[in-house]
Chains A and B, each alone.
Chain A
Amino acid sequence: MSQLTESPPAPPARPAGSGSMPPRRRPLLDWLDRYDRYILPAPAVIVVVAMLAFPIVYTIYLSFHQWSGGLRPPQWIGLDNFTRALTTGQFWGSLWRTAYFVILSVGLQVVIGVGAALLFHRRFPGRGIARTFFMFPMIATPAAVALVWKMMYDPTIGVFNYLVQSIGGPTLLWTSDANLVIPALAIVDTWMWTPLVMLIVLAGLAALPQEPFEAAKVDGAGPIRTFVSVTLPLLRPVLLVAVLFRLIDAIKTFDIIKVITDGGPGQASETLNLYAFKQGLSYLHFGYGSALLVFLTLLVFGVAIVFTHVRARTEEK
């Protein structure tokens, strides 16, 4: 073996008489050498962990306390904030409104997003420009978008009622009718985030294998049959990712609701996030507000875990 490899250069011969001296020890440098992969990123890790962990740990800490921010320190009250939430109609109401808003808006986004993706997947003149235009809502600032929509929904001077009335429709109280307000907000969310779903689905469509489509064509399947039996099943993993992204975001929606309705009329659009915000920052019940945010976090976690699980099972098949 040694015949085939080049032998390492021989160490320089020590001067005679110095052979008994041990090599110079550099304990600190050795230690740094050994652990450098942990030491070098440590400052960054500490900052990131503190920024991530601290708000979560502190929110959990506060959720077990009663505190209104005054000179008196937070008082430990155990699980009271959590039991108070679970026994309050307003909490369950806000949870129901969150679910209603999320299901409606994400449902609309998936349907319209897939439709738009199928449309933009085909080649037609001006496709690039049309795609770019379709992306605009996603780029806009939510608070600014919300202000514009708020004006458009105004029952007296808003453009929507002008359109509805010009075709003989009634005066609709978009954001001040308790039954209409959640759908109205879901429309804004849909307008804003459908492009994201479309983008993800477009990417998925581009990556689909062509053989199943050709086979379907040979078998004489029409476009609807091909979509239901070939495209949709193949798109399933991609769709699940899109739905997961949107679900997590929609549960946390805050800005557009805050600006357009502030939870109103009455409490008709007060979602869990808005309820927690009001309790924490408007009424200064920091403990109770934190407990509600813990519930919100658990909800998001739950949804994420369920979807990751479903997706893993889909991929196994």
Chain B
Amino acid sequence: MLPTIRPAVRALAIGLTAVLAASACGSTAGGEGPEFEGDTFDWKRYDGTSLNVYIADTGQVQALRDNLDEFTDLTGITVNIESADVTSYRQNLPVRLTSRASDFDVMATFPEVDGLQFASNGWYTDLGPYIDNPGVTDPEYDFEDFRTGVREAMKVDDQTITVLWEMQTDLVYYRKDLLEQAGLAVPTTFEEWAAAAEAVHDPDNRLYGFALRGIPYQTTTPFSSFLYAHCGQWVDDGGQAVINSPEAVEAYEVYGQLGNNYGPPGIAGFDWPVPSQQFAQGNVFAFLDVNLFVSELEDPSRSRVAGNVGYTTVPRADCDPAPFIGGWGYAINPFSEQRDASWYFIQWATSKQMNLDLKLTGWPSPRASAWESPEFAAGDPTPEFSQVVLDSTENARAQMNPPVTPGVEAREIAGLVANRALEGQTGDQLQQVADQQNEQLQGLLDAMQ
């Protein structure tokens, strides 16, 4: 009997493989732009529709859920939110998009990391035609309210592919009391920060001078501020990887020395929230990272340094400071069958009012009107922080990662040099790592051609 079964099994295996391969080769999904063409906007146009929103929870999801009834009252659209932590989300989303899943309509994306790859894979819906179509965009939406730098951060290849719900940018958090005890002014250069960190560094009493991220693919976010301040680049104008240039290597060395000399033990293994957690515990004098930690650090039930935190813009070196600007935003799944209704959700979730509501919970809004609103100004618990964030956006760059695909791999390649520097490598040894990693980054660039 076995010989008669064998061909059948073989045929089955081949058949299944063929079906999957065929489905992978299928036609592209959906068209670009809204189906509705007209100039009268009606919030109730998609009454009765149901939307699935799949997003990464960076801390904002609860506020979104709390307000969903308002959206349903306004539009008649019901929304189901599926959220995941950032790491799981990053791993699941591409797999679901690869299988052309249409079981979610709106998705979260971080253009700085996903952008190039998602765009080349056809995983974005161009939002430009939606924004420009008065029939599907509320006249009061005011897209210009997002500042130029923020609008740039929403684009890939000149197409707007997402609308940000947050605005991340780097800054330095420090302990005011310790700085005062050391009798120092707020540092403005990396050298001054190193001196201040040295002045307060006291490992015997578990007080460390400066904390940074250490895991390779996490380091590029804070490291970009070091890179730009030292006049370095990820990729030069000719499209060549230059993370081994003298400027970049100097930036890596400064990053590594600051963390290695004055950081808590094990800094090379620090994931992104660890510097802020150590700071909140009172173990760290200062750390440079994104602007997402304020509400946590100022909450006395979660932070031992609440009320004592100072904020300042990223330091300068040979070049002026240039913190990155970017963040998570909503995008429309191109395989969704309800793209127009999805856009309704996005414009509501990123409307002036929703941004202000989120802003009042301590979330960094990408809209100028939220920061400038009298309601926020009157109750702003940290005006110093707000000012620093607004100042940072003046000279920010929408590029915290090498503009290379795959984004996560490029981050890992460039970040490994920072990781090695945190382990104490300097000089020729570090240059050798940078050369090696630069070659790998160039390999990815070449593969993109």
Chain A interfacial positions (CB closer than 8 Å to B): 38, 46, 49-50, 53-54, 57-58, 61, 67-71, 73-74, 154-157, 171, 173, 175-178, 261-262, 264-267, 278, 281-286
Chain B residues near A61 (CB, 8 Å)? 17, 21
- Bound-state CA distance A26–B145 (Å) is 81
Cα A282 to Cα B407 with chains together (Å): 9
Q: Which of B115-123, B148-156, B294-302, B339-347 makes up part of the contact surface?
A: B115-123
Residue of A at shortest CB range from B87?
Answer: A262
| Given A71-B28, A264-B216, also A155-B94 (CB < 8 A) | no
Name which of B41-49, B247-255, B265-273 contacts chain A: B265-273
- Cross-interface CB contact of A54 among B13, B117, B120, cutoff 8 Å: B13
Q: Which of A175, A265, A278, A281 is within 8 Å of B95, CB to CB?
A: A281
Residue of A68, A73, A74, A171 with highest tally of chain B CB at under 10 A: A68
Task: List the A side residues contacting B420 at CB < 8 Å.
Answer: 266
Name the residue in B214, B266, B267, B419 with the highest tally of chain A Cβ atoms < 10 Å from its Cβ.
Answer: B266
Are B16 and A156 interface neighbours, CB within 8 A? no
| Chain B residues in 8 Å Cβ range of A265 | 214-215, 268-269, 419, 423
A29 to chain B, nearest CB (A): 20
Indicate if the CB atoms of B406 and A53 lie closer than 8 Å: no
A53 close to B268 (CB less than 8 A): no
Quick one: given A176-B268, A264-B269, are A73 and B409 in contact (CB under 8 Å)? no
B317 near A: Cβ within 8 Å? no
Q: Contacts A175-B266, A266-B423 given; indicate if A68 touches B13 (C-beta within 8 A).
A: no
Q: Cβ of B215 and Cβ of A262 under 8 Å apart?
A: yes
Given A70-B120, A71-B121, A264-B215: A173 and B21 within 8 A (CB)? no
A-B contact pairs, 17 of them (CB 8 A): A53-B9, A53-B16, A61-B17, A61-B21, A68-B406, A69-B95, A70-B121, A71-B121, A73-B21, A74-B21, A176-B265, A264-B215, A264-B269, A266-B423, A281-B91, A284-B94, A286-B98
CB-CB under 8 A for A54 and B409, given A49-B9, A173-B266? no
Q: How far is the CA of A176 from the CA of B186 in the complex (A)?
A: 31
- Known A156-B265, A176-B214; contact A69-B13, beta-carbon cutoff 8 A: no
Residues of chain B within 8 A (CB-CB) of A282 are: 90-91, 406, 408-409
State whether A156 and B264 are in contact (beta carbons under 8 Å apart), knowing that A175-B269, A262-B215, A265-B423 are contacts in the complex.
Answer: yes
Contacts of B206 in A (CB 8 A): 156
Contact with A along B198-223 (1 / 0, CB 8 A): 00000000100000001110000000
Say yes or no for B97: interface residue by CB 8 A criterion. yes
Q: How far is the CA of A176 from the CA of B281 in the complex (A)?
A: 20
- Residue of A50, A176, A281 with most partner-chain B CB within 10 A: A176
Q: Which residue of A lies closest to B268 (CB)?
A: A265
Q: Give the 5 A-B CB pairs with smallest separation, nearest first.
A: A70-B121, A176-B269, A69-B98, A176-B266, A155-B266
Chain B neighbourhood of A266, CB < 8 A = 216, 268, 416, 419-420, 423
Q: How far is the CA of A46 from the CA of B283 in the complex (A)?
A: 60
CA distance A283 to B413 in the complex (A): 11
Question: Are B406 and A155 in contact, with the CB atoms below 8 A?
Answer: no
Residue from the list A58, A70, A156 in contact with B122, Cβ < 8 A: A70
